[in-house]
Amino acid sequence: MKNWLMKSEPSVYSIDHLAAEGRTLWSGVRNYQARNFMVQSMAIGDRVLFYHSNADPPGIAGLMRVSGAARPDPSQFDAHSEGYEPRAKRSAPVWQCVEVEFVAKAGRFVSLEELRAQSSLAKMELLRKGSRLSIQPVTPAEMAAVLKLVRIKVQRFKG
DNA sequence: GCCAACGTTGGC
DNA sequence: GCCAACGTTGGC
């Protein structure tokens, strides 16, 4: 079981949207490295931190779990979508997305500033200067540290 | 709104 | 294959 962090702008799609829906397709990713993580490395059951980017303040808002394997991102075929991809064909999609399901809201929202203050997270990809990856791997130690900060019990993953 | 850092595109 | 120009991300 791997650990991940995925970013979303809460004004577009927040942890509350996911909590209300239960599950969603993580569509709209248009970065090859992020796509490759979803296609090559993610598996059902993987744990994912939900990060609110471009927010005031930005930070960890909750937790989700990968509930469906990567599949073609439908928005790439929609000419009216911002994510429209003219190069994509039904038979040769360019972009993929996984399905994720809600696990828990952070018991306490943990801001980027607070994450930066943790020495245990010093090497976290999210905190690297200039880091923009919207889907990134998280080490088990980093995940444990963040779950403690947001006050989510690991038990919540089981079942 | 600003802008640093980064990714992508396209001319050569 | 190089790299300048451009577009995007995302913190501040």
The pLDDT tens digits for A11-20 are 999 999 999 9
Bridge partners of A8, per DSSP, are A52
Length of chain A: 159
- Which structural domain range is residue A36 located in? 3-157
Average pLDDT over residues A55-70: 98
- For the CA of A10 and the C1' of C8, the distance in angstroms is 18
**A14 is near strand C: CB distance < 7 Å:** no
Please give the model's pTM, rounded to 2 decimal places.
0.95
pLDDT at A154: 76
Neighbouring CB atoms inside 10 A of A32's CB total 10
Q: Mind listing the pLDDT tens digit for each residue in A76-96?
A: 999 888 899 999 999 999 999
Number of domain units in chain A: 1
- For the CA of A58 and the C1' of B1, the distance in angstroms is 18
H helices present in chain A, as ranges: 15-21, 32-36, 112-116, 140-150
Closest alpha carbon to C1' of C8, residue: A132
pLDDT surpassing 90 at residue A157:
no
Both tokens of A145, joined, read 């540290």
- For the CA of A125 and the C1' of C9, the distance in angstroms is 15
Question: What DSSP element (H or E) covers A35?
Answer: helix A32-36
**What CATH number does residue A111 fall under?**
3.10.590.10
Determine the Cα–Cα distance for residues A120 and A92; give it in Å rounded to an integer: 42
**A83 is near strand C: CB distance < 7 Å:** no
Tell me, what amino acid is at A45? G
